[in-house]
Amino acid sequence: MEKALASWSGEPVEVVWRPYQIDPSAPVRAVPMSEMLQDPVADEALRACAPGLSPAENRARVADVAAAEGLGEQWGSGWRAGTLEAHRLIALAYEKGGAELQERVVERILHAHFVDVQDISDLAVLTSIAAATGLAEEAGYTGEPALETLPGAEHVRELLLVGKAKGVRTSPTIVANGLALEGAQPPETLREFLEDAARHTPRRLPAEVERLRHAESLLDQRDPLGALTLLRPLLAEHGDDRGVRLLAARAYFASAQLNRARTTLESLVAESPDDSYARHLLGRTLQRQGRHEEAASHLTLAAVMTPDYA
């Protein structure tokens, strides 16, 4: 990306880093990468990433590429580390100092992980990075345990959910003006992508509508708890909106929060008795609660209004 932008003559580009967890199941306490590489499941996955090469051979190949780019002789993570706290630091850097400060923090974190073989889940390592990049001063804190008291974990989790809702499936994924490009790409491809993005004018939706659509996308991806996380502020600010409440009811049902689903659906049906979908879902909710007689009346009425529900 840096090489692509070095020869870019179009509109100014601001690079903002958003979170994505390649290994969301990584332990809170980091373990040596050598232990993970001995896992048969990990070995199979890594072989799929580099057909024809063993994990060790592929790591050596990547290290050679990194050395040729001037990133140092040693290259390769030494720890399987949880990254939530590092993503919090990166998000905080953008909030406090914009893209320039965030870029410095990201550079330090990547260097610590891939070159210095440090554990980036260690708060002491992240606190040192915050101090060295000027983030600690911008954020107005000093000393240990600085990061433990910082806000931002929920914000990062929400950013992760938004990325999932948008269809981000791998890292890196470059997003510009609503277009996306997956995977590691050469500078020429990135420049062509930026040229396409510069010509593209995405449709701008109100923030509330966009959040609702993201929540619906997560529900379609069978992540009802993620959908409810994104719906939380909408329920607080627009709790009387029928669309918000119906989507919440669907998420409650899908996550087996049946009492909440029933309460929400009962109010929706009382307001609009001819809403066959709400009535059908209420019937199914009551069915799952073992209230079969109550369920039958709603399911029968829903089927009369919409035969597909029969």
Which pLDDT does position 143 carry in this prediction? 58
Cβ(120)–Cβ(81) below 8 Å: yes
Which three-class secondary structure state does DSSP give residue 156? helix
CATH architecture type of domain 2-150: 3-Layer(aba) Sandwich (3.40)
Rounded to 10°, the helix 153-166/224-237 angle is: 110
Name the CATH superfamily for 207-309.
Tetratricopeptide repeat domain (1.25.40.10)
* Token output for 24: 């969301």
- In this prediction the pTM is 0.88
| pLDDT tens digits, one per residue of 84-139 | 999 999 999 999 999 999 999 999 999 999 999 999 999 889 999 999 999 988 88
Cα separation, 170 vs 112, whole angstroms = 22
* pLDDT at residue 142, as a whole number: 63
Q: Write down the domain spans for the chain.
A: 2-150, 154-199, 207-309
The reported pLDDT for the residue numbered 153 is 85
Give pLDDT tens digits for 153-170.
889 999 999 999 999 999
How far, in whole angstroms, is CA 263 from its chain's centroid? 30
What pLDDT score was predicted for residue 197?
Answer: 95
Query: What does the pLDDT look like over 176-215, one tens digit per residue?
Result: 998 999 998 999 999 999 999 999 988 889 999 999 999 9
Query: Mind giving me the DSSP string for 176-241?
Result: ETTEEEES---HHHHHHHHHHHHH--PPP--HHHHHHHHHHHHHHTT-HHHHHHHHHHHHHHSTT-
Residue 146's pLDDT band (boundaries 50, 70, 90)? low
